[in-house]
Structure 1
Amino acid sequence: MKCLFTLSHGQAAVERGYSVNKDMLVENLQEKTLIAMRLVHDAMAGHTDEALPKDLKQHCRGARTRYEMYLEDQKKLREQTTKEKKRKELCQEIQKVKTKRQKVMTSAETMEKEAHEMAVMAEKKHDFTLLSKSNAYRKGVADKKEEVAALDKALKELQESVNKLKQ
């Protein structure tokens, strides 16, 4: 068969390469592996009667260990990237909670200031409607302070989660 390909048009090596590639293909074979297999096949073709050097034999013996180390490195890299991604998401969540806390604090301070001003005006004008509005604002301030306390607790929990991820 090889002679036939050589006689016909001189492309026997190339055409034999197609059939070798077909034999090597497997469903889930990565390109890197296929290239390595093809290099080995091309290098070893026709050289079966030669003795292999000692360093090549040792290199082949350590191939499995190097492959396992490669897989372990890939696994560590994936774990590290997922951990980093999770940490970034937590940091973004912390920033959102801090922003919300600041807005609630500002709102509570404003409401408290307005409640005080209404109470002073109610005292000057002897107007009970202003006094009732002032009391409603003060109740709202108390609710806002409870919300700030809840946000502080959530913020503390998120920061603890980030610290656990850093370790």
Structure 2
Amino acid sequence: MPYSLIISFFFPAYFLICFVIGDVILQHFDSFLSLESRSEDFLSFPPMKKRLDIFLRSGMEPYPELWDFSKKLLILSHCQATVERGFSINKEVESDNIQEDTVVTQRLVCDYITQHGGVTQVPLSKALLESVARARTRYRAHLETERKKREAKSQALKRKEAEDCLQELKVKRRRIQEVCEGLAKDADRLAEEAERKAGSKMADLISRFNLLRRGHKEKLTELAVRDKEIAALSEELRS
């Protein structure tokens, strides 16, 4: 078969396939914007902490054609990022595992020994012997004091984490509330448009209306869960 005949035979079919796939991608993209992009995860996406491709892949699982198309867009500017990432080297810094109090104490001992001309020249006075005898008691008292400090610090840290968590829950609730209101508004708009249409156009609008309404109900359920979490955490902080 001549090359021109092959082209004339396959090109219309190829064009038709591309047209159909493109139409599917557009439909998926419209659904993605209507539902997935209004989710809490999408609105609170941290670009400095999470990779965009991984995030989009999880969000586009129900839309395989759209994800395939998005992958092609993402690799356009990828360049040599994978190779260059391997050139990053973390510098290791060695440091002694000695706390500040230990360093100060060692310095005091060294200064005292130097002051008397060496270890063998240090006078074993009664005060020194009594101090050595009480060293274990002072050490236990020091450990108890440090334990109480750690407990107090741990409690303060837990409370701070709980307060931060409560604040984050309130922010998430506000976002869900905004999404919920947006879905309800869009659904009402589609319902009004459907009343003025007929035939397939009306059916399409009603289908999209039902889709938004289901999303609205899901967000209301999620909103109720967030309210319970906020109430429980607030009660815990008050106790």
TM-score (norm 1): 0.58
**Mapping 1:1-167, distance limit 5 Å:** 30-31=102-103, 68-126=140-198, 127-164=202-239
2: CA distance, partners of 1:68 / 1:163: 35
Call closer, same or farther: CA 1:46–1:65 in 2, change over 3 Å: closer
2: CA distance, partners of 1:67 / 1:158: 39
Q: Percent identity between the aligned chains? A: 30
Deviations 1:45-76 (A, max 9, x none): 7877x9x6xxx7xx969877665544332211
Deviations 1:104-149 (A, max 9, x none): 1101100101111111111122423212211221111000000111
What SS is found at the alignment partner of 1:125? coil
1: CA distance, partners of 2:106 / 2:154: 29
Deviations 1:5-43 (A, max 9, x none): xxxxxxxxxxxxxxxxxxxxxxxxx45665777759x89
Match of 1:5 in 2: none
How many Å apart are 1:150 and its aligned residue? 1.2
Counterpart amino acid of residue 124 in structure 1: R
Match of 1:17 in 2: none
TM-score (norm 2): 0.43
**Runs of 4+ residues over 4 Å off in structure 1:** 30-40, 45-48, 59-69
How many Å apart are 1:100 and its aligned residue? 1.5
Counterpart amino acid of residue 178 in structure 2: T
Structure number, greater radius of gyration: 1
**Higher mean displacement: 134-143 or 89-98:** 89-98
How many residues matched?
130
Structure 2: runs of 5+ lacking an equivalent: 1-101
1: CA distance, partners of 2:194 / 2:106: 87
2: CA distance, partners of 1:137 / 1:123: 17
Counterpart amino acid of residue 136 in structure 1: L
What SS is found at the alignment partner of 1:95? helix
